[in-house]
Amino acid sequence: MEAMDIQPSDVLLVIDVQNDFCPGGALAVPDGDAVVPTINALMQRFQHVILTQDWHPNGHSSFASSHPGAEPFDAIDMPYGTQTLWPDHCVQGTPGAAFHPELALDRAELIIRKGFRPAIDSYSAFFENDQQTPTGLTGYLRERGLNRVFCCGLATDFCVRFSAEDAVRQGFATRVLTEACRAIDRDASLAQAQQAMLAAGVVLC
C-alpha cells in the first residue's frame, strides 16, 4: 500500500464496518474488526471518504427468520434472482447496525445506507440486488468529479465484491484494498469473489 499513488479525485469507499459484521455480531465476519486500524489509517490519506451502512428494517426479506422453515445461509428464489438468507442483522437503529466504535467517522463526507427496502436486499453500494434500483452513489461521484474508487471493508465476498464490480460497470477505475477487507468465506465464496472481481476488471491490491 506504500506505493499507492492517491489523487485528489480518488475516493475511499468503506463498506459496512458495523458491529454485526465484527466478532460477537449477528453475522460476524472472522477477524472483521481487524480492518478498523487499517481503514482509519487509510482514511487520513484520501481527500474523499464515503461509508456504507447496511440498514435493514425488522422482518427484512433477506432474513431467514422471515421465511418459515428456512435456515440462515439457505438460498431462495426472489423475483430479482437467487438470494442468500442471513441471520437477522443490521436492523435499523440497533447497536448491531452501528459502525464499529473505533472506526474514525469524522472524515466521511457521505454515508450511504442500503438494504432498507423490505423486499430487496442490497449488497452493492451502487445498486440493490435487483441490479436496477440505484442508491445514488454513481450520481454523487460523477457530479463531484471523483473517478477512482478504492474499496475496503466487510465482507470481501459479498458487499465489497458487488460494490467493486458495479463501480467498474459504472465506469470508475476500481481497486480493492485486500488487506483492509475480511471475508465471510462460506462454500468457497471468497475464491469465487476474487475471480469475479478480476474478470470484471477490478484491481486487487
Beta-carbon contacts of residue 69 (< 8 Å; ≥ 6 apart): none
The vertex-135 CA angle with 131 and 139, nearest 5°, equals 105
Q: Site size for ligand VGL, by CB under 6 A?
A: 9
Instruction: Provide the minimum distance between the beta carbon of 86 and ligand VGL in the complex, in angstroms, as a whole number.
Output: 5
Of 44-103, binders to ligand VGL (CB under 6 A) are 54, 86
Residue 20 interface partner, choices ligand VGL, Zn ion, none, CB cut-off 5-8 Å depending on type: none
Residues 165-190: b if buried by 16+ CB within 10 A, e if exposed: bbbbbbebebbbbbebbbbbbeeebb
Instruction: Provide the minimum distance between the beta carbon of 55 and ligand VGL in the complex, in angstroms, as a whole number.
Output: 10
**Nearer to Zn ion (CB atom), residue 119 or residue 205:** 119
Q: Does 128 participate in binding Zn ion (rule CB under 5 A)?
A: no
Name the nearest CA neighbour of 180 among 203, 152, 146.
Answer: 152
**Beta strand ranges found along 106-169 (DSSP E):** 108-114, 148-154
Residues noted as catalytic: 16, 114, 159
What are the CA-CA distances from residue 105 to residues 16, 108, 126, 177 (Å)?
A: 12, 6, 20, 19
Q: Does 16 participate in binding ligand VGL (rule CB under 6 A)?
A: yes
Residue 154 interface partner, choices Zn ion, ligand VGL, none, CB cut-off 5-8 Å depending on type: ligand VGL
The CA distance from 67 to 140, in Å, is 35
**Nearer to ligand VGL (CB atom), residue 65 or residue 147:** 65
**Nearer to ligand VGL (CB atom), residue 86 or residue 126:** 86
Q: Does 54 participate in binding Zn ion (rule CB under 5 A)?
A: yes
**Beta strand ranges found along 25-80 (DSSP E):** 49-54, 75-78
Of 125-154, binders to ligand VGL (CB under 6 A) are 154
Give the binding range for Zn ion (CB under 5 A) out of 45-53, 71-79, 112-120, 189-197: 112-120
Q: Which one of residues 63, 150, 158, 172 is an interface residue with ligand VGL (CB under 6 A)? A: 158
**Residue appearing with cell numbers 477477524:** 31
Name the nearest CA neighbour of 127 among 151, 159, 152.
Answer: 159
Chain positions contacting ligand VGL, by CB under 6 A: 16, 21, 54, 86, 123, 154-155, 158-159
